[in-house]
Structure 1
Amino acid sequence: MLDLRQLRALRAVHSEGSVTRAARLLGWSQPTVDYHLRIIDRLVGSPLLTRTKRGSTLTPVGHLVLDRAQEILTLSDRTLSDARELAKLGRARLRFGTFPTAAARLLPAIAAEMGDLGVEIDAVLEEVKPLVSHVNGRELDAALVYSVPGYELPLRPDTAATEVLRDPLLLALPEGHRLAGRTSIDREALLSLADERWLLGATPNDPMDAVVLDAFAAAGHELEVAIRTDDFQVMLGMIAARMVVGLVARLASGPVHPGVVLLPIDDPSFARSVLLVAAQADPGGQPTVAVRQLAGAVRHAVEELV
């Protein structure tokens, strides 16, 4: 059976480049480090290190083991930290990531409910791509992310995703635009905006941008992207100034902005799915108790919003 000391020894040799320096980093003797490395080699059935006079480097098998070891050691350290904090303060901590618009509309209610349950939220605000990366690397316990129909997020197989909100996309036009007087926009009317200057997000390959770019490409049009920004107020200001048109998620829309008209789109593909993603705590696919409590808090926050 693997021992955490074996994994720590392997990680230290990789970071320091030699057994001698690894022993110094860990505060162990060199024979102790060598002992744990021999044990893990025996368990795996293959050497994890290539040793030369210049130092030690990982073999391909060693890199595979180290990749898993990083997760195991991170979870081990986190378990001890959380348990000590709970014993000391009577509270647990949950690392939770969310994209900015969900943070503005949902995070206060989520944090309040979790606080009542004795769970303190360590919130991280990022765009979707880094959030997915953090969850896959187990640097976050859970995150709110979004996708659109036909665009799958690159989640690890042992990561569960649950839709908590279907968030329609709205067409944002300046007041006085030829389509601004409509009550809604169908696909034909949307495609008539192929010659307009468009505002899209600053994050490359954002699913919200992909759905509109692909819709126009399928009709043989290539949009002129005049401005890219993730700042919602900048976006609305540029649209009000008649510089661009764009899409806004309803979750982000908030109060009406002077000079801007927001119209629903009569096409179900123009909606994003807001997902709670979290690592599965066991082979049966169940997340941890704290994450299940978080899922309940997210659902309650969404119910209050809609």
Structure 2
Amino acid sequence: MLGAGADPRKTRTPRQDPKHRLWQAARVALDVRRLLILRAVLRAGSLTAAARELGWTQPAVSQHLRHLEREAGVPLLLRGPAGVSPTEAGFVLLARADAVAAELHAAEEEVSALAGLRAGRVRLQAFPSAAATLVPAAVGALAEAHPGIAVGLEEAEPDTALPAVLAGDADLALAFGYDGPPSDLSGLAWRPLLVEPVLLVLPPGTSAPPGLAALREEPWIGGCVRCRGHLVDACRTAGFDPHLRHTTDDYVVVQNLVARGLGVTALPASALAAHRHPDVVAVPLAELGLRHVGLALRPGAEAVPATAALVAELERVARHTAPAHTLTSEAAD
């Protein structure tokens, strides 16, 4: 009951008190550690596999997930004979967990950078020809200057590398686009490194054709999905659909096939710099356009000194690489 003269508008029950509401909100906040456990389980495909990766027991992982589902108020996993899969709510939390993992990794790197680049880790994904040309020189120079920085390289085409950076599974992606930066950079920053020509690669003893249209009857060898799409577009612009007899994303295999007279192809200059079969003929052809190579990273990632140091080394190596590509490009024009 209210005391005499008390104003009922100024009297709050415990549930009406703002401090109580704040406490209730804190109680239902999702536990970040459990969110990352959910991410590990969904990426591993099962509780047992995730427990092995985390170094925990399977019952401990299961208990944390039950707590997380209680906190969320909805089921997050579908369990079946083939493993686990996310519910709709699980998908939502997985996307947020990827962002949390990326931010936590950035925080870890920023703290370790207080030691003045005596420690740090950078996860780099790069397409094959960049992994063979730009990366060794840049990572080697970084190792000499800052031996405490560990760079982990994973070879990946842009279609895989760009989502990996966005999800926080990589810090940097060496990627490319044709006649401009990659079109799928949503949510990422782009640092251009170099522009290189795409060359026509022909069997031994073949004369340079006047244009792509002269090769309409030839069998073609296609590269990775992105490269293959560019080749098809260039041929269609020249008035024909290429007959793609072989496809492989290995530029060594491509050149070996061409050297045996099994087809013609188009390769960027860096692929030929990484490996050049002595028997193939490589000629510039303006119709094949240019490839733009650069670095994709999450906005703000360069605030991490180890990441910034690797970016600087890759830019330095690219500056020394670009003149040769530019000369070839001018010949193509």
Per the shorter chain, which TM-score range? 0.7 to 0.9
Match of 2:221 among 180, 196, 199: 199
Question: Equivalent residue for 1:171?
Answer: 200
Match of 1:226 among 237, 245, 268: 245
Distance verdict in 2 for CA 1:13–1:162, change over 3 Å: closer
Q: Which runs of 4+ in 1 moved over 4 A?
A: 8-16, 26-30, 77-87
What is the deviation of 1:248?
1.4
Q: Deviations over 1:21-44 (max 9, x none)?
A: x994249689xx64x666x55xxx
1:140 aligns with 2:164: no
Distance verdict in 2 for CA 1:90–1:261, change over 3 Å: same
Q: Deviations over 1:178-221 (max 9, x none)?
A: 427xxxx6xxx1222111111111x3x32x22222112223441
Question: Equivalent residue for 1:111?
Answer: 139
1:128 aligns with 2:158: yes
Specify every segment of 5 or more residues in structure 1 that has no aligned partner in the other structure, as ranges.
17-21, 42-46
Match of 2:261 among 235, 242, 252: 242
What is the deviation of 1:82?
8.4
Question: Equivalent residue for 2:8?
Answer: none
Q: Report which of the two has the higher share of helix.
A: 2
Number of residues of Structure 1 aligned to a counterpart in Structure 2: 275
Question: Equivalent residue for 1:274?
Answer: 293
In structure 2, how many angstroms separate the alpha carbons of the residues matched to 1:94 and 1:147? 23
Q: Deviations over 1:125-148 (max 9, x none)?
A: 122222123222211000101111
In structure 2, how many angstroms separate the alpha carbons of the residues matched to 1:5 and 1:229? 42
Which secondary structure does the structure 1 equivalent of 2:266 belong to?
A: strand
Question: Equivalent residue for 1:264?
Answer: 284
Distance verdict in 2 for CA 1:152–1:130, change over 3 Å: same
Question: Equivalent residue for 1:64?
Answer: 92
Distance verdict in 2 for CA 1:37–1:149, change over 3 Å: same
In structure 1, how many angstroms separate the alpha carbons of the residues matched to 2:320 and 2:195? 15
Which secondary structure does the structure 1 equivalent of 2:96 belong to?
A: helix
- Return the index of the structure with the highest Cα Rg: 2
Question: Equivalent residue for 2:233?
Answer: 214
1:25 aligns with 2:54: no
In structure 2, how many angstroms separate the alpha carbons of the residues matched to 1:191 and 1:125? 34
CA contact (8 A) 1:170 1:250 kept: yes
1:159 aligns with 2:188: yes
Distance verdict in 2 for CA 1:248–1:50, change over 3 Å: closer
Match of 1:4 among 18, 32, 37: 32
What is the deviation of 1:50?
7.6
Question: Equivalent residue for 1:19?
Answer: none
Distance verdict in 2 for CA 1:82–1:196, change over 3 Å: same
Specify every segment of 5 or more residues in structure 2 that has no aligned partner in the other structure, as ranges.
1-25, 48-56, 324-333
What is the deviation of 1:86?
8.4
Q: Which moved more, 1:138-147 or 1:77-86?
A: 77-86
CA contact (8 A) 1:4 1:73 kept: no
What is the deviation of 1:58?
6.8
Match of 1:76 among 89, 92, 104: 104
In structure 1, how many angstroms separate the alpha carbons of the residues matched to 2:37 and 2:203? 61
Give the AA of the match of 1:303.
R
* Superposition RMSD in Å: 3.8
In structure 1, how many angstroms separate the alpha carbons of the residues matched to 2:41 and 2:286? 58
In structure 2, how many angstroms separate the alpha carbons of the residues matched to 1:68 and 1:279? 15
